Structure 1
Amino acid sequence: MNARTTVAAVYVTVVFLVSMDMTIANVALPAIARDFAVPASATGAVDAAYLVSVAVCIPASGWVSDRVGPKAAFLGALVLFAAASLACCLAGGLGALVAARAAQGAAGALLLSVGLTVLYLAYPPEERMRLARAIVLPGALAPTLGPVVGGLLVDHLSWRWGFALNLPVGLVALVAGAVALDGGGERRRRRFDLRGFLLVAPGAGLLTAGLNLGATRGFGPVALGLAAAGLGLAAAFAVLEPRTRDPLVDLGVFRDAAFRLSGGAMVFLVAGFMAAGYTFTLLFQRGLGHSAALTGLAVLPKAVGLMAASQVAARLRDRFGPGRVVTACMTGAAATIALTVLIGAGTPVALVMILHLVMGFCVGQSSIQLQITAFATVGTAATAAASTVYNAERQMASALGVSMGAGVLAAVSAGGLASYHAALLASAGCALAAAFVAVRLGRAAVPVPAAR
């Protein structure tokens, strides 16, 4: 492989590891509770520590990338991720495991943001459509394979092996990255914006913690209070940050119409997709009484659809433009999500699989088009800031989507399947909102980089 292909391969590998770690521990929580002799409810901190740490550290990733350079930041984060994975393997108690997961989250935040920076520094805008497969594969496979791999390891080996897998793969990625990355990217010796960090980091952390708590234990006063405090700090950050001489996050990237509209559509897309996945899993198992194995089989075509979308992304973009493609695909996604409310106990599994195949294709196609478009007119100097903002938006949208699904399920208490149907329709509404934003994207003067 040439150097640029190696950079893309390293990006795919690293994003896959980080995404896998978000889900692989879920099925291991009962085993962790048994090993450490703690209540099952206490193990929720294992996931919460990871998610909150990612949310807290993403805002600072742009400053780190500017300060030490994208290559050094990326490789340093990869070393930290591997070390934290080893600490998870060797943890002797719940407290040590939670601390190691928090370190993993910090490293994961850097890898997600800086990884996108090094990828786009290696490929100019006119060649980024060739990266469609690299962009979609990690997100398509990791959520599907994470619970499967985690379950197999827990049943046949130990939950610790779920973290041990990161070590050899991470070592290969580290060596390849050290050789292939050219150390490019502008370094800016700007001071650290402490005020901005003290606003946005706790704000993101509190908002994520509140949404996570609401999704797992209900939106009581504590969850709502945490989320409200997080929103308040984030609002203060948005007001004060543009007045800062050396901002932690350059919010000036929102002046770019393509970036602003693509990011807005992406937030609705991710929130709707995550809410639909969360709700449908509960509907199929709890509401309709199917097994976990059959549920996994029913939604597996979603990943196939996501991957298939990458094969035709360039041709659709060249022919119709990103706005029209996303508008059509998100309208299709909304329709397929809405149709899932018609699924009953006697619905053939093959029909359920077809719906998820179409849904995966529509969401995958939209995700590719939006990410390429978001960075189409972002200059090299602003790539780190744009990567930080884009990943922060995606992270918050993921947490918001799951929480929205859980909140609707809790709020609608009509009995039977009504609560699941209401949550799925809310997810479809998010997809329609993404389509509405994409209409505006189509009307904006958005460049269409060459596909080849």
Structure 2
Amino acid sequence: MNLHLPESLARLRPRRRGIATVHAELRDGIVPAGDRMAKTTDLGPQEAPSRNYRTVALIIACAMFMENLDATVLATALPTMARDFGVRAPEMSVALTSYLLALAIFIPASGTMADRFGAKPVFRTAIIIFVLGSIACGLSPNLPMMTAARFFQGMGGAMMMPVGRLVLLRSVAKRDMVSALSWLIMPALIGPILGPPVGGFIVTYLDWRWIFWLNLPIGILGVVLVGRFIADIRAEVTHPFDRPGFFLSAISLGCLLAGLEAGSRSGASALTLALVLIGLVAGAFYLRHARHAAHPILDITLMRLPTFRLSVIGGSLTRITQGAQPFLLPLMMQLGFGMSAAQSGTITVATAIGSFGMKSMAQRILRRFGFRSSLMVIGALSALSYAICAFFRPGWPVPAIFAVLVVSGFLMSFNFTAYNTIAYDEVDKSRMSAATSFYATFQQLMLSLGICIAATALHTAMRIGGRMTPDFGDFSAAFLTVTLISLSAIFVNARFDRNAGAEISGRPARQG
């Protein structure tokens, strides 16, 4: 009896792939489900192929979807939560800033953690911590407990975004970078689109605590997808963790944000001064440390790269408004216009719809006009469009308000796509983890600062007018304050080289 044993065994052998093919698949961030071999690859400064970046981006976007949904739903629910906690609505800003405070403290460590322990386990652990923090938020009986739970939740969020972006940036060629980041951001924008109406529905017809229960199934799905498809990407060479730098940066950023948040509330001037002073001193010590450390946790030498430096500065100014807007708009709609949370949510969703619409056009705009011209014109228009919100009154037709917010979201979305892309134009692959940590730290710091500045302007206007609750004039002062700051980014954008990002955008470099 002839069993043809060699042929049978041949059919049982897995399909053979060359070493180059396996390495390319790992660099793309995709590991076939059937592979149970080690999935770790060391990435150097070489250019990685990007054929599978869309799949990687969609998986990473699951985590961003959860994070953005949580933030936008919570903003809609702040007035209701304030009533349940027995505090004034503006005081609920601490529930937003405590989360962003955790991001500012722990994001600097994200790049080193990903290099030492692998992007895959760090990213998966971050999702788990975020979900556990969501459970704690849902069980919080008062504002102090909510603040602590949000801080813990932010520890997970601090690793999710920069590590996820690092995985994608290491899996994409420069020519595909705009498209890759758009693929990453587009699914994540579904969170802000669904957030306001979902938050309004939950607050009006259920209980605000369901806001946090929604993260459980999304987080479980994210953990499964990361375990199945994301490669364990690490740096070729790992460096010792910069413990002194981490503690100094944590003290500096934490105290500065806490001081600014305290300054946004009445009766905290001494505390504000003490916290800001400690933050500045710790920051000065960190800068001294970073100049002598071999591998500082925040590599300030990245600021020597012109496109990175200008993107950090211009993007920081622009994000002041972006951080303030989700805090101010729901409060104005509910306290000023007398809308329910559900009604407020159906209007504030307009900015997310506008953001979603821009993603398919960003590449064409950049190819046609380049980064410098596009950021100068659209940056100014986006700040001015948000300034119009200062003049919203009950006499305005709802469709007009909705249209203004759609345009504002459309324009602001372009700014962030452009800034997030041009920042890495001159960054070598070997420094990508340091760059993503540095950039994400300032990104979250400015979003936090936007909330603090908006809350401070709102409280200041209320004190000047002798009011316990804000009126339209107070909201106008807050909106104009943050938009004027963002408008100043036009002077930074003008300093970009006319050919900056030409390879990324596909625009031919011009002489002269």
Partner deviation per Cα, 1:310-361 (whole Å, 9 max, x = no partner): 1111111111111111111111113223333443332222222222121111
Contact 2:387 2:479 survives alignment (8 Å): yes
Rounded Cα–Cα distance in structure 2 between residues aligned with 1:153 and 1:87 = 18
Rounded Cα–Cα distance in structure 1 between residues aligned with 2:444 and 2:485 = 16
- Which one is further off, 301-310 or 232-241? 232-241
Rounded Cα–Cα distance in structure 1 between residues aligned with 2:391 and 2:226 = 48
Give 1:447's match in structure 2, choosing from 494, 499, 502: 502
Matched, 1:379 2:434: no
| Equivalence for 1:259 | 308
Query: How much does 1:74 deviate?
Result: 1.4
Contact 1:204 1:230 survives alignment (8 Å): yes
Give 2:386's match in structure 1, choosing from 311, 326, 337: 337
Query: How much does 1:260 deviate?
Result: 0.9
How large is the Cα RMSD of the aligned pairs?
3.2
| Equivalence for 1:423 | 478
CA 97–423 in structure 1, closer or farther in 2 if over 3 Å, else same: closer
Partner deviation per Cα, 1:366-400 (whole Å, 9 max, x = no partner): 11011111112212211111111111111111111
Contact 1:67 1:189 survives alignment (8 Å): yes
- 5+ residue gaps, structure 1, are none
- AA at the equivalent of 1:432: L
Give 1:129's match in structure 2, choosing from 178, 187, 196: 178
| Equivalence for 1:67 | 116
| Equivalence for 1:356 | 405
| Equivalence for 1:327 | 376
Query: How much does 1:254 deviate?
Result: 1.3
- Which one is further off, 244-253 or 42-51? 42-51
| Equivalence for 1:166 | 215
- AA at the equivalent of 2:378: C
Query: How much does 1:242 deviate?
Result: 2.3
Contact 1:85 1:104 survives alignment (8 Å): yes
Matched, 1:55 2:110: no
Give 1:198's match in structure 2, choosing from 247, 269, 293: 247
| Equivalence for 1:115 | 164
Rounded Cα–Cα distance in structure 2 between residues aligned with 1:88 and 1:159 = 10
Aligned residues: percent identity? 30
Rounded Cα–Cα distance in structure 2 between residues aligned with 1:44 and 1:397 = 15
Give 1:400's match in structure 2, choosing from 423, 430, 449: 449
Q: How does 1:279-294 map to 2 (within 5 A)?
A: 279-287=328-336, 289=338, 292-294=341-343
Contact 2:73 2:211 survives alignment (8 Å): yes
CA 435–139 in structure 1, closer or farther in 2 if over 3 Å, else same: farther
Query: How much does 1:418 deviate?
Result: 4.0
Partner deviation per Cα, 1:170-200 (whole Å, 9 max, x = no partner): 2222222223222234154322222111211
| Equivalence for 2:259 | 210
CA 129–48 in structure 1, closer or farther in 2 if over 3 Å, else same: closer
Rounded Cα–Cα distance in structure 2 between residues aligned with 1:315 and 1:194 = 44
Rounded Cα–Cα distance in structure 2 between residues aligned with 1:138 and 1:339 = 28
CA 43–219 in structure 1, closer or farther in 2 if over 3 Å, else same: closer
- AA at the equivalent of 1:402: I
Contact 2:378 2:411 survives alignment (8 Å): yes
- 5+ residue gaps, structure 2, are 1-29, 31-50, 508-512
| Equivalence for 1:19 | 68
SS for the counterpart of 1:311 is coil
Partner deviation per Cα, 1:15-57 (whole Å, 9 max, x = no partner): 121233334445667887899xx75479877555433322221
Rounded Cα–Cα distance in structure 2 between residues aligned with 1:410 and 1:305 = 30
Greater gyration radius: 2
CA 329–135 in structure 1, closer or farther in 2 if over 3 Å, else same: farther
SS for the counterpart of 1:184 is strand
What TM-score do you get using the length of structure 1 for normalisation? 0.87
Query: How much does 1:308 deviate?
Result: 1.1
- AA at the equivalent of 2:291: P
What TM-score do you get using the length of structure 2 for normalisation? 0.78
CA 445–153 in structure 1, closer or farther in 2 if over 3 Å, else same: closer
Matched, 1:221 2:267: no
- Which one is further off, 115-124 or 178-187? 178-187
- Which one is further off, 409-418 or 329-338? 409-418
CA 337–51 in structure 1, closer or farther in 2 if over 3 Å, else same: closer
Rounded Cα–Cα distance in structure 1 between residues aligned with 2:269 and 2:175 = 49
Rounded Cα–Cα distance in structure 2 between residues aligned with 1:312 and 1:406 = 34
Query: How much does 1:259 deviate?
Result: 1.0
Aligned residue pairs: how many?
A: 450
Query: How much does 1:121 deviate?
Result: 1.2
Query: How much does 1:265 deviate?
Result: 1.0
Contact 2:199 2:341 survives alignment (8 Å): no
Contact 1:140 1:306 survives alignment (8 Å): yes
Rounded Cα–Cα distance in structure 2 between residues aligned with 1:395 and 1:354 = 28
